[in-house]
Chain A
């Protein structure tokens, strides 16, 4: 393990050696990620170690959350949009060699940082955890599970940005 890492958009990186232990995530990264980037359905960002090896990746996509079933009183405090903008942290994986060292949570922070830098409207960061273990991971990082949504969690951007400011303070 050779930190420090650099994070950057997926480009001409060598993806063949990436192994996170999750077959679905590894296959996605090798077969689909660059295609999704080309199709502009998701952005993919990688963490590169000092040997230019990929240590982890995550994807981000713009999304919208419909808020059309709220009680009247609640809707009052919100913008009059039928939908609110959000960012979706689609996939996140860390190579086995780097697991358990804080890189996964650093990549969540990295995503928040990028969204903040973009300066685009997003009320929340959403994530669809792939299994219960992943769900527990996101919950430990402050993501809140939503009732009736098996593995969809979210964190308010404002909450995440407060954490960012606290870290920089």
Chain B
């Protein structure tokens, strides 16, 4: 039988390591709920299962899939991403020095600043985008460097291999929050990291219905053993139902994540240089400061991007308020597309200046498929939906008014109700009268190129007939030949 670990990650995930349920040979594994297990008559536990914390077959199988995806020695699931992240720090000897990122998931940064010292840890936060800054901040008793790349919510990039080298020279370990990258786009252990952490709530589960965390270790060592003890003693385990849902979500990880990244890249490109947007933060853009490193260590740039809307905080919140297609919500990595004014969540941050940005969490498999099929229209809708580019809205409306003249008094009888709704909304967004708007739409349409011409959609049978004409053009009819004779007779010059 094929060793599942030799397969491609997408196959490993899709087949959940090829496991079947032995009794029925079902392809979906059961949820193991038992909290306790029968001892053998000689008082042994030969199955290895003693007590449900932490012995659970569903949890273990999900852990094995994550370990395979990360190329790890082993993985462990936790009750949440925070439980996973804090367990790494809590496994260090008290008094250890920890180097953390200035920009990362704010909940963990808050814990590092305010809670970790209560347990005796000393924490410094540095700019993880600068290898020199990291090197300068390492101390003789630094035991852990924690990075997050791409880092929420500015999607900054840390050079994993370079920081791993600094950590190891200093006798420290490198742990990385790879939630936004996912094992689909980055394999941090192969770049020298010691521990990978995921908020499995996000892309790994992918359906916004499970809170879970995961750690994956490069090797079995004292730190990993200690983390296991911390999880067991603190009871930060994941329940079997959540583990089962996570296992199901993992099966589609690669297709989801790639589709989401495709959408994000499309939006980032379209939003770059947009009149209403001052900057787009997406590692896939060559203008992004971490682009070169990202291109080296990632096989894709992920599904997350942030934009800074011109006009300050009020404009950013207003734009988010106008969104319909994107849901205003926190978290990320689910099949829904979300948008969030991040500064409203995090509040004033003393260490970094985030100014006014919106985090676009491109997602939804359905939206992504739509983007692939009719990119310009969906892009317009997405951008319009945020109320940030009424210019495009005009073009969209103009396309739908091909048969109308620009007299607004007749507009309602001349264009489709759908197009009329677009026109009305666009005029409202721009704060213009409908007639002013329509004139502007016509001006925009003047800038259309030949590439924008509408595609004619024929019925299936008409397509067949049309294709038959192209494949085997019939001889011209007498009437057609006669048309050219008329032309010769009547037209002296074709200018």
Q: How many residues of B contact A (CB 8 A)?
A: 49
Using Cβ atoms and an 8 Å threshold, which residues of chain B touch A68?
463
* B481 sits at the interface (CB 8 A): yes
Give chain A interface residues in 15-63, CB to chain B under 8 Å: 31-32, 35, 38-41, 47, 61-63
Using Cβ atoms and an 8 Å threshold, which residues of chain A touch B449?
40
* A12 sits at the interface (CB 8 A): no
Name B490's contact: one of A39, A102, A144, A152 (CB within 8 Å): A102
Distance, CA A35 to CA B404, complexed state (A) = 12
Stretch at the interface among B102-110, B321-329, B349-357, B470-478: B470-478
* B222 sits at the interface (CB 8 A): no
Closest to A144 in B: B469
Using Cβ atoms and an 8 Å threshold, which residues of chain A touch B454?
63-64
Distance, CA A42 to CA B203, complexed state (A) = 48
Do A163 and B480 contact each other (CB < 8 Å), given the known contacts A113-B487, A148-B459? yes
Interface SS, B side: helix
* B347 sits at the interface (CB 8 A): no
Using Cβ atoms and an 8 Å threshold, which residues of chain B touch A47?
491
Name A105's contact: one of B456, B464, B468, B479 (CB within 8 Å): B479
Distance, CA A67 to CA B471, complexed state (A) = 13
Using Cβ atoms and an 8 Å threshold, which residues of chain A touch B495?
6-9
Distance, CA A9 to CA B484, complexed state (A) = 19
Closest to B468 in A: A74
Interface SS, A side: mixed
Using Cβ atoms and an 8 Å threshold, which residues of chain A touch B479?
105, 140-142
* A129 sits at the interface (CB 8 A): no
Distance, CA A163 to CA B481, complexed state (A) = 5
* B458 sits at the interface (CB 8 A): yes
* B486 sits at the interface (CB 8 A): yes
Distance, CA A83 to CA B445, complexed state (A) = 23
B494 adjacent to A159 (CB under 8 Å): no
Distance, CA A91 to CA B463, complexed state (A) = 23
B463 adjacent to A70 (CB under 8 Å): yes
Using Cβ atoms and an 8 Å threshold, which residues of chain B touch A166?
476, 481, 484
A74 adjacent to B492 (CB under 8 Å): no
B493 adjacent to A6 (CB under 8 Å): yes
Minimum distance in angstroms from A145 CB to a CB of chain B? 9
A105 adjacent to B453 (CB under 8 Å): no
B446 adjacent to A156 (CB under 8 Å): no
Give chain A interface residues in 51-100, CB to chain B under 8 Å: 61-71, 74-75, 77-78, 83-84, 86, 88
Distance, CA A102 to CA B480, complexed state (A) = 12
Do A74 and B464 contact each other (CB < 8 Å), given the known contacts A5-B492, A6-B491, A144-B469? yes
Using Cβ atoms and an 8 Å threshold, which residues of chain B touch A158?
473
B483 adjacent to A108 (CB under 8 Å): yes
Distance, CA A106 to CA B480, complexed state (A) = 10
* A13 sits at the interface (CB 8 A): no
A40 adjacent to B458 (CB under 8 Å): no
Using Cβ atoms and an 8 Å threshold, which residues of chain A touch B450?
40, 62
Distance, CA A126 to CA B463, complexed state (A) = 13
A110 adjacent to B494 (CB under 8 Å): yes
Using Cβ atoms and an 8 Å threshold, which residues of chain B touch A124?
466, 469-470
Distance, CA A88 to CA B492, complexed state (A) = 24
Pull 15 A–B residue pairs with CB atoms less than 8 Å apart, ordered by A.
A3-B492, A8-B494, A39-B446, A64-B454, A74-B468, A109-B487, A124-B466, A124-B469, A126-B456, A141-B479, A148-B460, A159-B476, A162-B475, A164-B484, A168-B484
Q: Which B residues lie at the A interface, using CB under 8 A? A: 402, 405, 442, 445-446, 448-450, 453-471, 473-477, 479-495
Q: Which 9 A-B pairs have the closest CB atoms?
A: A142-B480, A167-B484, A148-B459, A163-B476, A102-B486, A4-B492, A105-B483, A109-B487, A158-B473
